Amino acid sequence: MSRTGYRSGRLPSRREFAALTASTVALSAAACRADTGRSGAPDGVLAGDLLVWTSFTQGPRAEWMEHMAQKFEEAHPDVRVTIETFSWPDFYTKWTMGLAAGQVPDISSALPTHVAELLSVEALAPVDDVIDEIGRDRFAEAALAEGQVDGASYSVPLYTHAQVMWYRTDLLEEAGLEVPTTWAELRHAAEVLTTDDVYGLSVPLGSSDMMATRFLNYYVQSAGERLLNDDGSANLTSPAVLDGIAYWVDMYRNTSPEGSINYDVLQQATLYYQGRTAFDFNSGFQIGGVQQTSPDLLEYVAAAPLPRLTAADDLYGGETSNTPMVVWEASSMQEEAKAFLLSLYETEEYIEFLHSVPGGMLPALADISDEPAYVDDPILDQFADTVEVIDEAVPRGSAIGMEDGPTVQASIMTGQGIIEGLFQDIVLNGTPIADAARDAEEQLNSLFEMAGVEFGQ
Amino acid sequence: MTASIAHTRKPRADGPAPRRRTLKGLWSRLAKADKVGLAFVLPSMVAVVGLLIYPVLSSVYYSLTDQSLLRRDHELVWLDNFQTLITNADFWSAFVTSIRWTAGSIVGQLLLGLLLALCLDKVRRFSGLYRVLLIVPWAFPPIVIGFGWQWILDDVYGFLPNLLTSLGITAENVSPLANPDTVFWTVLAINIWFGAPLFMVNILAALKTIPREQYEAALMDGANAWQQFSFITLRHIRNVIGLLVILRIIWVFNNFELLFLLTGGGPGDMTTTLPIFAYRTGWGLHQLGMASAITVLLLVFLLLMARIAFAALNYWEREDS
């Protein structure tokens, strides 16, 4: 049997063998890499594979996205749209990992705080052309500002919602209480309504979510302050913030289940859905949650503006989420991505999307609110007053830490569980509020600096 | 058959000393090896390199860098990450929690598994049914266990706290997963419940191989129950136990999903083990270099543990032979 490959039976040298092995591995890796054919065709002819990441995990929204992909493929036969869906926490993991590995989608949904972080690493493509095509004046300025850097827009708001105070009309009526308008009134009402069966208000402090940050932010905003100082550093030690921390620690101890120290957003909302809490803070998504979980309670659900320090104080925003779509800079299919993005705003389909969670997702386009087709929805009709409260809160607020536009600090503050850790430190270890707040502030500032923030710039 | 006998025969005292397996030796063996055979093995080698060795080496490499998840570029910082870690109180807190979690889980699983196996070994009727019932926890995926126990133990809608309150055992609903005094012991108990069946099944299989004559002989010699257990039962099953302990140390120490689903490492950092600490560092703070350094330290520690455990196993095997 003759040998082949190496003359006269000479074996490869060690170096040659190593090179051969390396080549084999490289070739295998290359062979394993899918041939996606992802190059967008030039000259306006749309072609190729479009990868879309969305966070729309719930049935109706996910189905709508699939429907839009199908519709786009029909209109552009040379384009194949692949939708990949992730929950928000997974989504965050996915894009941070994808960014490091150079594997990102062409277009995706995002949270405003994600946008801020993505902008800091120049991962997004400008989308002013898409916004102008849809109609710039149809969007709220504040919503556009959350994705703007140096006058250029990098995100297109898809829907919006704001945080409001939810309550149970029947429980308040039984107890002879008015809807609270101040923090003191809320404390009193929550204490009165805390019984063996119902908790007045659950205070969620779990470090796997940003709920404690959210609750603290309400209080701080009501005092006319923010969790970020003007120079970009963290503000956790001002008297207003310390008051806020003390308020929520007190509420946790008196009106909340002990287990809420580990709660995330879903566990928190579930209690209200099940009728186990009298008050809660959330967006219009609360309506759908109650409708699915305890339909018999739906008629007793209502929302009011966030509490203030005194009844004479002006209403404030608290927190508004303008959830946008973004096009990724690394995409070779930006033309196709923008065309697909544009297709999502066609009136009929867009209203269909908003109706998949009525009251939960409010239009990012101002004129849609007045469209008869949009208003014509039984839930929106039943909760007209509540939706109006949310609607009025939207323009007053912004994402936490993004009151002056996108900041990396916003993402760090809401994504690292530092403020949640602060609360847990006070509750579990008995650490004095001022000490815990100072430590958390230092921790946040050091993370800001690590992320390249220069205070006062 | 003869080949295998010849293979297992010990070398004669005056025979040639066994060759040391150096890298140079490996190369010369490769040179003499059948090239066709090598060609057949090469795809598997590539798969092993790609799926096992490459990730480990890349972890080691990244542990020496300042790689962040938000940047594609990085710089070599050599041992800075390790230096930062060994002076970090949170790292040591997670390490101690990992040790407590692993030691408590293994001891609990072993004792409960051994007890159940000894009981089942004596059962004659319906033993198959009992075995199936007892192995059920092991059959559940961790995500079901995590969420299931979370719902059972929740102080608002959880079955157990409501039951205890309705029976008058507790004045108000307790929250075992949120109370700092009970959270660690609760997750430990859940992990013991989850892992004991693996010990039980394997120990039971080993118990079935013990010749009954040995017990009869021991009885005739006047051995009491404890002596029978320690000199016969334990000696026959200790190798199985040793191997299980090694495997479980590695699995439990590396376990992430169960704790993460139950408590997320909280409340505070009361159930934060090294894998959760690494996750938070990598995905929370985006410090991939630092997270890699944590996993490298984890790997080194586990290799050390495995080495000690295997040494004990080898000692027992030599003692048995």
**Chain B nearest C-alpha distance from A415 (Å):** 7
Query: Can you list the pairs that B57-60 forms with residues at least 24 positions away whose Cβ atoms lie under 8 Å?
Result: B59/B292, B59/B295, B59/B296, B59/B299, B60/B292, B60/B296
Average pLDDT, chain B: 87
- Both structure tokens of A278: 């009298």
Question: Residue B16's pLDDT is what?
Answer: 55
Which member of A29, A121, A424 has the closest CB to residue B268? A424
* pTM, full prediction: 0.81
What does DSSP assign to residue B50?
I
Question: Residue A90's pLDDT is what?
Answer: 78
**Chain B nearest C-alpha distance from A210 (Å):** 12
* Higher per-residue pLDDT: A378 or B33: A378
DSSP secondary structure of B183-204: HHHHHHHHHHHHHHHHHHHHHH
pLDDT tens per residue across span A3-57: 333 333 444 444 444 444 444 334 333 333 333 444 444 556 899 999 999 988 7
Q: Does residue B282 belong to the interface with chain A, where contact is any CB pair within 8 Å?
A: no
Question: Residue A57's pLDDT is what?
Answer: 79
Choosing among B23, B46, B61, B156, which should be mutated to test the A contact, i.e. which has the most A CBs within 10 A? B156
Question: Among all residues of chain B, which has the CA nearest to that of A198?
Answer: B156
Question: Residue B259's pLDDT is what?
Answer: 93
**Chain B nearest C-alpha distance from A423 (Å):** 9
Question: Residue B318's pLDDT is what?
Answer: 86
| B27/A25 Cβ within 8 A | no
What does DSSP assign to residue B210?
S
Question: Residue A312's pLDDT is what?
Answer: 96
Which member of B27, B178, B180 has the closest CB to residue A259? B178
pLDDT tens per residue across span B130-151: 888 888 888 889 899 998 998 8
Neighbours of B183 (CB within 10 A): 24
Contact assessment for residue A101 and residue A80, using Cβ atoms and an 8 Å cutoff: no
Per the listing, tokens 């429980």 go with: A171
Using CA atoms, how far apart are residues B287 and B281, in angstroms rounded to an integer? 6
Neighbours of B148 (CB within 10 A): 14
Report, as ranges of residue numbers, the positions in chain A whose pLDDT lies below 50: 1-41
Question: Residue B73's pLDDT is what?
Answer: 81
pLDDT tens per residue across span B255-284: 999 999 999 898 988 999 999 999 989 887
**Chain A nearest C-alpha distance from B36 (Å):** 10
Using CA atoms, how far apart are residues A1 and B36, in angstroms rounded to an integer? 11
Residues of B in contact with A96 (CB under 8 A): 69-70, 283, 286
Residue B8 has pLDDT above 60, yes or no: no
| A257/B175 Cβ within 8 A | yes
| A261/B263 Cβ within 8 A | no
Q: Does residue B155 belong to the interface with chain A, where contact is any CB pair within 8 Å?
A: yes
Which residues fall within 8 angstroms of residue A405, CB to CB, at 6 or more apart?
A145, A146, A148, A149
Cα angle A410-A430-B174, degrees, rounded to a multiple of 5: 95
DSSP secondary structure of A319-387: -EEEEEEEEBTT-S-HHHHHHHHHHTT-HHHHHHHHHTSTTTSEESBGGGGG-HHHH--HHHHHTHHHH
Question: Residue A393's pLDDT is what?
Answer: 94
